[in-house]
Amino acid sequence: MAMLTTERYISTHKHRFLDELKHFLRIPSISTSKEYAEDMRKAAAFVKEKILEAGADQARLIETVGYPLVYGETVVDKDLPTVLVYGHYDVQPAEPYELWNTPPFEPVIKEDKIYARGASDDKGQVYMHIKALETLLATQQLPCNVKFLIEGEEESGSQGLTQFLQDKENHALLQADVVLVSDTTLISLAQPSLTIGLRGIVYLEVEVTGPNRDLHSGAYGGAVGNPIHLLCQMMASLHDEHRRITIPGFYDRVEILSQQERDVIAQTPFSLSEYQESLGIAAVLGEQGYSTLERIGIRPSLDINGIWGGYTGEGGKTVLPSKAYAKLSMRLVPHQDSATIVQQFTDYLSTMAPESVKVNVKVVHAGSNAVVINKDSVVLQAAEKAFEEVWDQRPLRTRDGGSIPIVSKLQESLGCDSVLMGFGLDSDAVHSPNEHFGLTNFFKGMETVMAFYQYLTTSHVS
């Protein structure tokens, strides 16, 4: 009897794949708020069940200090290469709800795209991997061993998984020849790409305390330091007139790119006018001397994510506030060390703060360093071949500005290369209202993953 082809299997089960994905997307697994703790567990259990249903040898939940990890594995033959698929089942909050055309946790398919929070980041991409495994097992064509590590705290700093990795006894379980991650974007459907760099991140909260209580702004105004003013001044002076970050030592270890590497970036298809238009801005703004793609891919950045304090309710309240706050994130590039950056920032703020206020800096998420993919690795070459086969085009190599905090830690702990094979698009509106994922991206993604397993195995020398 002729062997069932993967194409045949997929076309027979296509509708079921999408129905199941919808089920996954209906679970509001928002990791940043305790309110959804129960849904987080439901999402973890769903992933585990689906890995088992795909035919894996085993799948289970691993408890952590935070939300559970889902671990699964299928061993074909110990002498064959092993892929560790990493992804996340948690999603970002969906607010503001009123800007969604359809509710964020009621997935719908429109014009070949599935709309829901997490459709692209990262549930759709995680599901693609589970269905690729199912397809390969059902057609008896799985060429390598596959492990799954799907976490629930990527969007909130990966605390549980970070702690899990700190215990060296856990490394054996995850041992693999490559960590495969689908949580990034392609340049476009017409121009596939592989991500070879991600920025690291530190996420901090600053608290500025002035007087021991809110004061009457008439009785005290002009005589007592206002924490909001001082916080704003400090935040504003974190960039200079060239839009460089002023923290002493911040750029000391920043990787300097060769002209050749900058030329490669300059060849990436990118239209500044389309970019500006898509964002509704008349001009971009960033560090002097660098292009937009360089500012995102190879230069560090600092953004204030929110700032608050004092009175913001209805009407007026004449108050000189006791406290002011800001949340801020810094994106780091290769060789910058997240712990050093936190220290440099904290020291700098304390030297900047006038005596009339106290400044306290709190780390919100465990920091992470930038990710650099080994450009000569055989696993990257296998990934390139897989793209060439499925997309009829050689993928370009890109450096993305976003962060996946655990990737650098997985590379360090397991000592293996990783492949960032993401199938989202910048237009997917991840973290924004109306997030969506293209069905073409889903199915071509599945095919690319399956081709990758094949090339990895044939190129493997044990």
Nearer to Mn ion, 92 or 291 (CB): 92
The one of Mn ion, ligand BES, none whose footprint includes residue 201, by CB under 5 to 8 A per kind, is ligand BES
Contacting residue, 185, 413, 418, 457, with ligand BES by CB under 6 A: 185
Contacts of the segment 98-101: beta carbons below 8 A, 24+ positions apart:
99/433, 99/434, 100/433, 100/434, 101/434
For the chain, what percentages of helix, strand and coil (3-state, to nearest 5) are there? 35, 25, 40
The closest residue (CB) to ligand BES is: 402
Using the contact rule CB under 6 A, the part of the chain among 39-47, 182-190, 312-320, 446-454 near ligand BES is: 182-190
d(CA 403, CA 181): 12
For position 183 contacting ligand BES by CB under 6 A, the verdict is yes
Q: With 0-12 CB in 10 A as exposed, 13-18 as middle and 19+ as buried, what is 198? A: buried
Q: In what order do the strands lie in the sheet with 200-209?
A: 301-309, 323-332, 200-209, 358-368
Which helix (H) or strand (E) is 399 found in, with range?
strand 396-400
The one of Mn ion, ligand BES, none whose footprint includes residue 185, by CB under 5 to 8 A per kind, is ligand BES
Least Å from the CB of residue 191 to ligand BES = 16
For position 117 contacting ligand BES by CB under 6 A, the verdict is no
Least Å from the CB of residue 448 to ligand BES = 17
Least Å from the CB of residue 26 to ligand BES = 20
Using the contact rule CB under 6 A, the part of the chain among 12-20, 180-188, 249-257, 306-314 near ligand BES is: 180-188
Contacting residue, 50, 131, 147, 365, with ligand BES by CB under 6 A: 365
Question: Which residue, chain included where needed, has tokens 């990783």?
Answer: 418
- 395: how many CB neighbours lie within 10 A of its CB? 22
Which helix (H) or strand (E) is 429 found in, with range?
none
Asked if 202 and 332 count as a contact pair (C-beta separation under 8 A), the reply is yes
The one of ligand BES, Mn ion, none whose footprint includes residue 230, by CB under 5 to 8 A per kind, is none
d(CA 138, CA 142): 9
Q: Using the 8-state DSSP alphabet, how is residue 91 labeled?
A: B
Q: Which two tokens stand for residue 252?
A: 């000391």
Nearer to ligand BES, 68 or 200 (CB): 200
Least Å from the CB of residue 172 to Mn ion = 27
The one of ligand BES, Mn ion, none whose footprint includes residue 400, by CB under 5 to 8 A per kind, is ligand BES
Q: Which two tokens stand for residue 45?
A: 């259990």
Least Å from the CB of residue 201 to ligand BES = 5
**Mutual angle of helices 37-53 and 6-25, in 10-degree steps:** 170
Contacting residue, 73, 121, 294, 428, with Mn ion by CB under 5 A: 121
Q: Which of residues 400-459 bind ligand BES (CB under 6 A)?
A: 400, 402-405
Q: Which of residues 201-230 bind ligand BES (CB under 6 A)?
A: 201
| Preceding omega of 347 cis (within 30 degrees of 0) | no
Output the CA angle 302-307-313, nearest 5 degrees. 165
**HSE on the CB side for 237, CA within 13 Å?**
13
The one of Mn ion, ligand BES, none whose footprint includes residue 184, by CB under 5 to 8 A per kind, is ligand BES
For position 183 contacting Mn ion by CB under 5 A, the verdict is yes
Nearer to Mn ion, 121 or 384 (CB): 121
What letter represents residue 419's amino acid? V
Least Å from the CB of residue 198 to Mn ion = 11
For position 122 contacting Mn ion by CB under 5 A, the verdict is yes
Residues at the site binding Mn ion, with contacts judged by CB under 5 A? 121-122, 183
Residues at the site binding ligand BES, with contacts judged by CB under 6 A? 121-122, 154-155, 157, 183-185, 198, 201, 365, 400, 402-405
